[in-house]
Structures are given as structure tokens and as C-alpha cells.
Amino acid sequence: MVNTKIDLGKGLVLRNPVMTASGTFGYGEEYTDFVDMAQLGGIIVKGTTLHPREGNPYPRMTETPSGMLNCVGLQNKGVEYFINTIYPRIKDFDTNVILNLSGSTIEDYVTAAEMINELDNVPAIELNVSCPNVRQGGMAFGVTCSGISQVVTEVRKAYHKHLMVKLSPNVTNIAEIAQAAEASGADSVSLINTLLGMAIDAEKRKPILSMVTGGMSGACVKPVALRCVWQVSKAVKIPVVGLGGISNATDAVEFMLAGASAIEIGTANFIDPAISAKVAAGITDYCERHGFEKATDLVGALEV
């Protein structure tokens, strides 16, 4: 029997290393026909802001080779709606329900974090300081050390459970940003958010996305994500959660070898809605085949 338990600290304990990435798994309810929540370490629900947001105009997505671009722009009904309407429906899922929190001002982040702090069955926030699709989608905070220090420091004061900070790859040195998050009180960092990209319709001489640029995700971003996880895990002591293009158990194991304590499945949920549970089972298989008794033994086990 492989022990797949992962303790990310500050009360966030996963039964296995697999979580689902924000914005790719709805509120979990969309996937209950395909996945038993009890097979997942956690689900990170759709990015939520203090106030409702309509998001960006259509078209919001386009396919790219082995991936996709999106500019959804944090469409959500706000934190109050989440608390009153969605939370009661999903709070008894047999897995960790983690809320992805975004904002445009520090006050918004702090007010929402205080409200989420009161939800007994939400053990963690994933702080989104890296959404590339809205002018003030937090990415302004996430691309400088001072910005991330400011927002993490203030949210830390208001939020007393596990605080995971999601990092943008659209920076010159992601390890420094991660260190700034750690120094400001983050309990873990997750990376990477989408890579800023763009697509053009040459025939029409027009951009394909309504916002011109969008965030790239899918299998094509995996090498970048893996490199970021490798660099960050060497730079910080807090746990690193890896994501970016993970499509199968082998990908997940690679992220763990590079230093991730846990992983998130994102765009792959669109291609195989049952993939998250399959990856969890596949990590166990890998451990058995290679004689690892604990999934944590994989973390940073890369032989360079």
C-alpha cells in the first residue's frame, strides 16, 4: 500500500497529490458524473472576486497547437453568491474544497478573504495574483516582488487558514516572486498560471480573442511549467503545487520529481473529464512500480 497523503501545512491535508485547477472544473458539480470527489486531493473552484463580474466579451477562447488561449476574465457572481448559493451545495464533497480568490484592490482581497475565513469546509484559499485577462486581475500584484508582498501581507492578516499563492509565469524571475510570497506569509505557492499569448486571424486581419491577448494553457505549456516548478522549489521552503499542461500520471510524477508536493490538473479536464481521478490512480501505480512507499518520496527526487 502506497501512502499518498500530502500535508501542505496549516491544516491543508490532501488524501493524494491531485487537485483540479481553478477555472477548469467549475464548482466540481459539473464533473460529478465523471469523477468521485473522494478520489481527489482537492478541487479549486472557479476564480471568485468580492463583487460579481460579467467577464470579457465573446469570443473568449481559441485552440492552439496542443493547447488553448482564453480571455474569460474572471466571470463570477461574487463571494456573497458563492457563500449563500454554491457553498451549501458543495461543502459536503468528500474532498478539500479550495476557493480561488481574485481581486483588483487589496481591500477587495482582504474583505473577501475575511468572509471566506468563516466557511468551515473551505480549508484554504488559492490567492490569484496572476490572472492575465483583466486589467486589474491581480496580475499587477503578481508580477513584482513589492506587489506580491503587499497583497499577501494584508490577506495573511485577515485569513487564518492555509494561504496558497498562485504565481504567474509572465515574469523575469519567478523564484524571486515566490520568495517574496513566502516571506509575506504564504503557506504554499502554486504555479504556473497561464502564459500570456495571442492569436490572429490572418484572413480577416483581426485578433481572434475579444481582448486581443489571452492566457495559454494545455499540454503545450508543460515544459515552461516544469522549469518554473524546478526553479521555485529550490528557492523556497514552503510547499510548491505544480500545474501547467499536466495531462496524465507521468506528467504529474515529473512535476513532483521537479519539486512539487502536489499538482493541479487544468485544461486536461476538458479533454477527458475523468482524467483527475485517473492521474491520482496513476501516481500510486508509479510509486508501486518504483518501490516508493510514500508519494512524498517523489517530491524533489529528480537525480540531476
Interacting residue ranges for other proteins, rule: CB under 8 A = 23-26, 30-31, 33-34, 46, 54-55, 58-68, 70, 72, 75, 218-220, 267, 269-274
Provide, rounded to whole angstroms, the least separation between the CB of residue 214 and other proteins.
Answer: 10
Cα separation values, 204 from 5, 201, 208, 212, Å: 52, 6, 9, 14
What does residue 21 show for φ and ψ, rounded to 5 degrees?
-80, 145
167 closest CA partner among 142, 184, 186, 150: 142
Provide, rounded to whole angstroms, the least separation between the CB of residue 292 and other proteins.
Answer: 30
Instruction: Count the neighbouring beta carbons within 10 Å of the beta carbon of residue 303.
Output: 4
Candidate list 131, 220, 228, 287, residue with the active-site label: 131
Considering beta carbons, is residue 54 or 288 the nearer one to other proteins? Answer: 54
132 closest CA partner among 87, 44, 198: 198
Provide, rounded to whole angstroms, the least separation between the CB of residue 264 and other proteins.
Answer: 14
**C-alpha span between 100 and 102 (Å, rounded):** 7
Cell of 172: 523575469
DSSP label at residue 3: B
Considering beta carbons, is residue 11 or 57 the nearer one to other proteins? Answer: 57
Q: Is 131 in the active site? A: yes
Considering beta carbons, is residue 62 or 231 the nearer one to other proteins? Answer: 62
> DSSP letter string over 207-228?
ESSTTSEEEEESGGGHHHHHHH
133 closest CA partner among 43, 232, 51, 217: 217
Continuous segment of H or E residues that includes residue 289:
helix 275-290
Cell of 143: 508580477
Considering beta carbons, is residue 4 or 267 the nearer one to other proteins? Answer: 267
Provide, rounded to whole angstroms, the least separation between the CB of residue 30 and other proteins.
Answer: 4
Provide, rounded to whole angstroms, the least separation between the CB of residue 263 and other proteins.
Answer: 18
Angle at 213 between CA 210 and CA 218, to 5 degrees: 105
Residue 285's contacts (CB-CB under 8 Å, 6 or more residues apart) are 249
Provide, rounded to whole angstroms, the least separation between the CB of residue 28 and other proteins.
Answer: 9
Scanning the structure block, which residue is given the C-alpha cell 522549469? 227
Indicate which residues carry an active-site annotation: 131
